[in-house]
Amino acid sequence: MQHPLSLYNTLTRQKAPFEPLNAPFVGVYLCGPTVYNEAHIGNARGPVVFDVLTRYLRFLGYTVRYVRNITDVGHLEGDADEGEDKIGKIARARKVEPMQVAEGYTNLYEDHVAALGCLPPDITPRASGHIIEQIQMIEEIIRNGFAYESNGSVYFDVPAYNAAGRNYGKLSNRVVEELLAGSRENLAGQDEKRSPLDFALWKRADERHLMRWPSPWSDGFPGWHLECSAMSRKYLGDEFDIHGGGLDLMFPHHECEIAQSQACNHPTNEARVWMHNNMITVNGQKMSKSLGNFITISQLFEGTNTTLAQAYSPMTARFFLLQAHYRSTVDITDEGLQAARKGYRKLMNGLRLLDKLNEASLSPEVIKSRTVEPLTEGQAPDTTKGDAELRKLVADCFAGLNDDLNTAKAIASLFNLLRKLNGFFANLATLATVSAAALQEATEAYRVLVTDILGLVDEPRAKAEDLLRLTLEFYQEAKVTKAYDKVDQIRAALKEQGIVVKDTKAGIDWAYSEE
């Protein structure tokens, strides 16, 4: 690589070369969903972005441990410390167990991100499965003087934390005095807290709360922020390389995570690099249920949302999200998605050319035409200029990825490379301007970039039932015209696919072969 991978760190507000703590090992943690409803298209962006990041890190030779959690308890309404658990509220309304709600939406979420081409994380921890680790972390924070128990609940002591020289607000660039000024009125009804900035590490469960566990302080449940700190520490250590999530999680969620990790026995910022993907808008407006432009992933795939005119395939959606740099906003529109579908299909058509180009490059005609004038024995034709141009097009693709995972730049460069490859295919004689080795490098790089790193794969264009119906129509036509050789060919071809043609009094039908 000409350029090392550089990443923008929200914590430092700077872009810097990525240097793992313990190369070649890299730990990556992404905040996953709270599984109380179906994920919307905004929830898809983080998994797609960090799927590309982990794919690229592995391409660069790193051994990655990628952790993406499931929040199935402790996330209260309004992201606050009061109110009902989001999952518990749905469970109460449906008269089912909370874990039925969590399990159903977890399975749906994982199906959707898999359809979007995201490889499964190495570890998918659930908050409800790590209560012991969370209780241990709270005990550690209390012993260090940064938390207190109040009426069975435990709160993180932000003033004590800052008095010890720590800096609550350093990730989000929030000033504590300003936060206090804007939050005093919110202390009403939260008299358990010493300061309105304090946040829950453990909450005593009231009679309404369906999910509860025993602890040294009460039967209750963990705070939302604590879960990710405890799970990331268990699987990635006190300090690890990269922590990701949506920009909306930077405060208070990620800010609180850092404070919790700083308050433990081995104080760290939890992750060395904090990466935040930006938000999604719909037709220029913030997506919200009140505006009626809230689009779930299912609705995007099935075309059942009135905001959009049609359905869009998972790979179209993935390509659409990757057309923008992850720190930029993405605006969902029909026009944008339709353009993305065209772009995605162009890349797929490019994949179909690669083997043909390499085969043509080794043909006697091209080999002969590379020789502009008679060569002396042992002399090779001069393709230096053509090879350099081709390798520069490839290098530009990787330069985009190395520049803070700028998939927008990488895709633009990829289309420049595709334009060159298409030019070769349109006029095979021009293959003489490059060596077979340089072409092989370029086609392999194209394949790796599209499929292995960007994670774009070909999607079926037609439905098997429709193709079978069309084939049977050709079969019927061949019978009517007594073209029995075609009848036999169609029968034999379908039989190879496990399909038997059945001529009945009611017409032509088919069945699965039972042989």
Q: Which residues are annotated as a binding site for ATP?
A: 289
For residue 48, give the DSSP letter. H
Q: Are 263 and 141 in contact (CB under 8 A)?
A: yes
Q: Are 25 and 16 in contact (CB under 8 A)?
A: no
Binding residues: 31, 228, 253, 257, 289
Binding residues for Zn(2+): 31, 228, 253, 257
Q: For tokens 């058509």, name the residue.
A: 349
- Using CA atoms, how far apart are residues 63 and 26, in angstroms rounded to an integer? 6
Give how far the C-alpha of residue 1 lies from the chain's centroid of Cα atoms, to the nearest Å: 24
Q: Can you state the angle between helices 314-322 and 334-361, rounded to 10 degrees?
A: 90
- Using CA atoms, how far apart are residues 144 and 150, in angstroms rounded to an integer? 17
Q: For tokens 């690669």, name the residue.
A: 354
**CB-CB neighbours of 293 under 10 Å:** 19
Q: Are 217 and 153 in contact (CB under 8 A)?
A: yes
Beta bridge partners of 70: 126
Beta bridge partners of 421: none
H or E element that contains 8: strand 6-9
- Using CA atoms, how far apart are residues 145 and 149, in angstroms rounded to an integer? 11
Does residue 91 sit in helix, strand or coil? helix
- Using CA atoms, how far apart are residues 292 and 302, in angstroms rounded to an integer? 17
Q: Which two tokens stand for residue 438?
A: 């340089």
Does residue 127 sit in helix, strand or coil? helix
- Using CA atoms, how far apart are residues 128 and 234, in angstroms rounded to an integer? 14
Integer CA distances (angstroms), 262 to 164, 265, 479, in order = 11, 8, 79
**CB-CB neighbours of 328 under 10 Å:** 13
